[in-house]
Amino acid sequence: MKIMNKLSSARGLALAAFAASTLIVSGCGSGSGASTVANPVTTPPTVSNYTGPAPQTADVQRFKINVWDNLVPNNRCGTCHNPSQTPRFVRSDDINLAYDAANSVVNLADPANSRMVLKVRGGHNCWLTSDDACGDIIQSYIEAWAGGALGGTGKAIQFTAPPLHDPGSSKNFPADVSATLFKTAVYDPYLHQYCVGCHKEDAAVPQSPFFASDDIDVAYAAAQKKMDLDNPANSRFVLRLGEEFHNCWAENPPTVNCAQDAALMQAGITAMANAIPATVVDPNLVTSKALKLTDGIVASSGGRQEANVIALYEFKTGTGNTAFDTSGVEPAANLTLSGTYSWVGGWGIDFTNGKAQASTTASKKLHDLIGSTGEYSIEAWVAPANVTQDGPARIISFAGSSASRNFMLGQTLYQYDFLNRTSETDQNGEPRLSTLDDDEDLQATLQHVVATYDPANGRRIYVNGKFTDDVDTVPGGLLTEWDNTFAFALASEVDNTNRWAGTARLVAIHNRALTADQIKQNFDVGVGEKYYLLFNVSDHVGKPDAYVVFEVSQFDSYSYLFRAPFFLMLDSAATPGDIPIAGIRIGVNGREASVGQAFAHVNTAISDAAYTPTGQQELSSLGTVVALEKGPTLDEFFLTFEVLGSASHVVVEASPAPPPAPLDVPRDPDYGIRDFAEINQTMSNMTGVATTQAQVKATYDAVYQALPVSTGIEGFLSSQQMGITQLAISYCSALVEDTSKRALFFPGFDFNAGVSTAFNSGAKQNQIIDPLMAKMVGANISTQPDDAATRAEVASLITLLAGCSGAQCSTNGVVKGACASVLGSAAMLVQ
């Protein structure tokens, strides 16, 4: 057995005594049938006035404050374990005797494994609708007690040998639902028949997962996690009916028969499973033994700084419409879920258009407890669904309306917004503190965000353990303006406006401003339940109890996180010798995962020198995500190795097939048009006017973006012709106005002649047309415009223009027009 130290949990004093109302609870049960849902208890327990002998030690005193005071009321454990039933750990006659009794049912080194916690978690008289929530609350009491008793020396992780299983053949769900009997064997006869009232997106009160959806693909995806193909009797669908009597139906009216319904469901899943061939593990692989997530050793989730937590939501329930406040601080501000939401694997709730809200009565504790300190922290692990929502979209709000609040943590695109009502702000907590837009601190991924407030430092926002450096310009004020009738809510304003889309995996409210170190500590601990999976490799390394160990957690509803593998031998006296190890891959349900094999390049050697005194050798510091297939209780994992000890399996990747030839398509026209720059240079070449000539350049700069950019002739636009015309006129104008250039270009033409005489013969007109044709159209080129037709057209234009009169009528103008008509034509443009 190996022991690995971890930081101890530091859950602090339970602040249970601030309220005084009472409630007698008549029914605490462990049944989970839908027809026996009990209203959650939201009022605090009765607190006894202890009058017996004084605590003999400081530890007894800590026990009294943290455990006894919380459990002695008669709506907790006091009804039975005070006067008569052993162990009498809440007896009120002598706190020291109660302390002795409690020690027989708690494990201060590992509070989660305390008999008291396990008993309640197993369904023993829980006062809430979730046994786990009751277990968590009692665990928090014991951790608070242990935090002192352990003196902060840390909690131990004990590595023990897991059960040994060879990776088995496993049946896997085909990707295409049509390849299965799901529809005919399970969906049509049962799910879509009897579960459609709730487990459907558009049900009156939609309950995820939506395995009764009208969309068969949606239903198939949701149902996979509820069916065990390898052992249909272990399917959640079957157990839910047969053992938990969840909404059974009357197959043969009028009798409701859960056993019969379970048998039918099992038969349907069995029929479906029988039609799916098993995936057989490749015998050539070098494999470890196999494990399921539940075979793992729970890694400590302790180490969180929760000394002053007054509301805590870990979203462990996984079903129903209540998110429990497991802070242990009464009254529990449990949240009622409404709208569109779904529970997330690995703890959490995904809000798409939903809300989680506490009653105003229970929310009042936040007002009271924060009011007593004048400072607080909002801590959350959230994954915003996108970076486009604003409003701000309310992630966490303690408000009366969308314009009146005590505090709010919100999202505006890439920014976190923190509104806090003080004597220095308005009733809405404005002006807000927002993270800098350019920093894009908010990302659509799982983030740890903490907003703290205290009068000295004002508001501060920390993301993923780091202060965002955004300084609060509003001076610190008092919280005396807070309203004790407001309600605490997640993912929405209390008036159902400004919804926030995203996943919340943990929310905690502290009535102290957490320090930077404490925030970093909580970020480092992470979120969700983590396991150590010990993959036995003794067969290959020749050492007993030798393991490659991964820390594994469910990362979200669709994946697992595997990280930081190390080699371990349970025998603390053993040494590994030299063991080469390379190419570690993760296997899931009989085959290597096709995506996410981040450890495939591991290539190292386990050696005595590298093996640490604590009995480990790190193999990689990386982590990777692997797709979830059947669900955390069904997926079976194993490891494969390219090299492990003397065993090896050479992975040879086949060369890909050459890509098929693209399909032939009709050819585009093999002629096109010149682009903007080509037009400019062509006009320059044709006229002899430089592109840098001032007038020309000014025109080009004005019109170049209107000229063609693409050379495809089919994209030619009339607006482009307008640009071409302007540029052509500019070039021709520059040519005609330059006496030496025009003399060279139009030899023999008399520019000084009047309009009426300059063009009054065919010969004179040809003095203009001939050079234009020679330099702009070319001779003896069959793809250019027809020579005679073009000449006739230009001559016609000259005749037309020469018939002008008035001040604007000039010989130069007619020549410019004739020049531009050719220069701006397709003779220049088309190539």
What is the smallest separation between the CB atom of 141 and another protein, expressed in angstroms?
Answer: 32
830 counts as binding another protein under rule CB under 8 A: yes
- Tell me how far apart the alpha carbons of residues 79 and 83 are, in angstroms, rounded to a whole number: 7
Q: How many CB atoms lie within 10 A of CB 12?
A: 21
604 counts as binding another protein under rule CB under 8 A: no
**Interacting stretch for another protein, rule CB under 8 A, among 227-235, 252-260, 419-427, 690-698?**
690-698
Between helix 718-737 and helix 676-687 the angle, nearest 10°, is 30
What is the smallest separation between the CB atom of 450 and another protein, expressed in angstroms?
Answer: 13
Class of residue 206 by CB neighbours under 10 A (exposed 0-12, middle 13-18, buried 19+): middle
Six token digits for residue 3: 């022991």
68 counts as binding another protein under rule CB under 8 A: no
- Site residues for another protein, 414-473, by CB under 8 A, read 443-447, 463-466
> Which residue in the set 99, 716, 731, 749 belongs to the binding site for another protein (CB under 8 A)?
716
CA distances from 342 to 54, 207, 333, 497 (A): 49, 8, 20, 19
> Which residue in the set 68, 127, 182, 599 belongs to the binding site for another protein (CB under 8 A)?
599
309, 12 in Cβ contact below 8 A? yes
Q: Is the Cβ of residue 441 or residue 493 nearer to another protein in the bound state?
A: 441
Q: How many CB atoms lie within 10 A of CB 360?
A: 16
**Interacting stretch for another protein, rule CB under 8 A, among 298-306, 396-404, 527-535, 595-603?**
595-603
**Can you say whether the dihedral through the CA atoms of 19, 20, 22, 28 is positive or negative?**
positive
What is the smallest separation between the CB atom of 583 and another protein, expressed in angstroms?
Answer: 10
HEC states along 37-104? Answer: CCCCCCCCCCCCCCCCCCCCCHHHHHHHHHHHHHHCCCCCCHHHHCCCCCCCCCCCCCHHHHHHHHHC
- Site residues for another protein, 105-124, by CB under 8 A, read none
47 counts as binding another protein under rule CB under 8 A: no
Cis amide linkage into residue 209, ω under 30° from 0: yes
Grouping H, G, I as helix, E, B as strand and the rest as coil, residue 236 is helix
586 counts as binding another protein under rule CB under 8 A: no
- Tell me how far apart the alpha carbons of residues 315 and 508 are, in angstroms, rounded to a whole number: 11
Q: How many CB atoms lie within 10 A of CB 204?
A: 7
Binding map of another protein across residues 253-282, x = CB under 8 A, - = no contact? ------------------------------
> Which residue in the set 151, 202, 650, 664 belongs to the binding site for another protein (CB under 8 A)?
664
HEC states along 489-501? Answer: EECCCCCCCCCCC
What is the smallest separation between the CB atom of 504 and another protein, expressed in angstroms?
Answer: 10
Q: Is the Cβ of residue 8 or residue 559 nearer to another protein in the bound state?
A: 559
- Tell me how far apart the alpha carbons of residues 764 and 733 are, in angstroms, rounded to a whole number: 20
- Site residues for another protein, 778-817, by CB under 8 A, read 778-786, 789-790, 793, 797
Angle ∠(193,194,195) on CA atoms, nearest 5: 110
681 counts as binding another protein under rule CB under 8 A: yes
DSSP assignment letter at 753 = S
> Which residue in the set 266, 687, 721, 811 belongs to the binding site for another protein (CB under 8 A)?
721
Six token digits for residue 102: 């409690």
Token pair 């009502």 in the structure block, residue: 421
Contacts of 786 (CB under 8 A, 6+ apart): none
Total binding residues toward another protein, as defined by CB under 8 A: 105
Q: Is the Cβ of residue 753 or residue 826 nearer to another protein in the bound state?
A: 826
Q: Is the Cβ of residue 68 or residue 746 nearer to another protein in the bound state?
A: 746
Cis amide linkage into residue 167, ω under 30° from 0: no
**Interacting stretch for another protein, rule CB under 8 A, among 154-162, 261-269, 358-366, 712-720?**
712-720
317 counts as binding another protein under rule CB under 8 A: no
**Interacting stretch for another protein, rule CB under 8 A, among 98-106, 241-249, 664-672, 763-771?**
664-672
Element (H, E) at 404: strand 404-412
DSSP assignment letter at 252 = B
What is the smallest separation between the CB atom of 215 and another protein, expressed in angstroms?
Answer: 17
Q: How many CB atoms lie within 10 A of CB 517?
A: 10
384 counts as binding another protein under rule CB under 8 A: yes
Binding map of another protein across residues 605-624, x = CB under 8 A, - = no contact? ---------------xxxxx
> Which residue in the set 66, 308, 553, 557 belongs to the binding site for another protein (CB under 8 A)?
557
Q: Is the Cβ of residue 464 or residue 766 nearer to another protein in the bound state?
A: 464
Q: Is the Cβ of residue 280 or residue 826 nearer to another protein in the bound state?
A: 826
Q: Is the Cβ of residue 455 or residue 623 nearer to another protein in the bound state?
A: 623
**Interacting stretch for another protein, rule CB under 8 A, among 2-10, 321-329, 486-494, 589-597?**
589-597
Cis amide linkage into residue 87, ω under 30° from 0: yes
Class of residue 564 by CB neighbours under 10 A (exposed 0-12, middle 13-18, buried 19+): middle
What is the smallest separation between the CB atom of 719 and another protein, expressed in angstroms?
Answer: 4
340 counts as binding another protein under rule CB under 8 A: no
> Which residue in the set 282, 295, 454, 675 belongs to the binding site for another protein (CB under 8 A)?
675
596 counts as binding another protein under rule CB under 8 A: yes
678 counts as binding another protein under rule CB under 8 A: yes
> Which residue in the set 182, 211, 555, 749 belongs to the binding site for another protein (CB under 8 A)?
555
667 counts as binding another protein under rule CB under 8 A: yes
> Which residue in the set 595, 609, 694, 807 belongs to the binding site for another protein (CB under 8 A)?
595
Q: Is the Cβ of residue 181 or residue 413 nearer to another protein in the bound state?
A: 413
> Which residue in the set 231, 682, 766, 767 belongs to the binding site for another protein (CB under 8 A)?
682
**What b/e sequence results for 503-514 when a residue is b if at least 16 CB atoms lie within 10 Å of its CB, and e otherwise?**
bbbbbbbbbbbb
406, 398 in Cβ contact below 8 A? yes
352 counts as binding another protein under rule CB under 8 A: no
**What b/e sequence results for 442-472 when a residue is b if at least 16 CB atoms lie within 10 Å of its CB, and e otherwise?**
bebebbbbbbbbbbeebbbbbbbeeebebeb
300 counts as binding another protein under rule CB under 8 A: no
What is the smallest separation between the CB atom of 646 and another protein, expressed in angstroms?
Answer: 24
What is the smallest separation between the CB atom of 22 and another protein, expressed in angstroms?
Answer: 41
> Which residue in the set 35, 255, 284, 705 belongs to the binding site for another protein (CB under 8 A)?
705
> Which residue in the set 653, 694, 762, 763 belongs to the binding site for another protein (CB under 8 A)?
653
Contacts of 515 (CB under 8 A, 6+ apart): none
Find, among 590, 718, 656, 702, the residue nearest to 285 by Cα. Answer: 590
718 counts as binding another protein under rule CB under 8 A: yes
Helices and strands (H, E) in the chain, number of each type: 22, 31
20 counts as binding another protein under rule CB under 8 A: no
What is the smallest separation between the CB atom of 291 and another protein, expressed in angstroms?
Answer: 20
> Which residue in the set 55, 147, 502, 632 belongs to the binding site for another protein (CB under 8 A)?
502
- Tell me how far apart the alpha carbons of residues 720 and 673 are, in angstroms, rounded to a whole number: 11
666 counts as binding another protein under rule CB under 8 A: yes
What is the smallest separation between the CB atom of 222 and another protein, expressed in angstroms?
Answer: 14
What is the smallest separation between the CB atom of 86 and another protein, expressed in angstroms?
Answer: 47
Q: Is the Cβ of residue 62 or residue 585 nearer to another protein in the bound state?
A: 585
- Site residues for another protein, 516-545, by CB under 8 A, read 523
> Which residue in the set 600, 605, 804, 809 belongs to the binding site for another protein (CB under 8 A)?
600
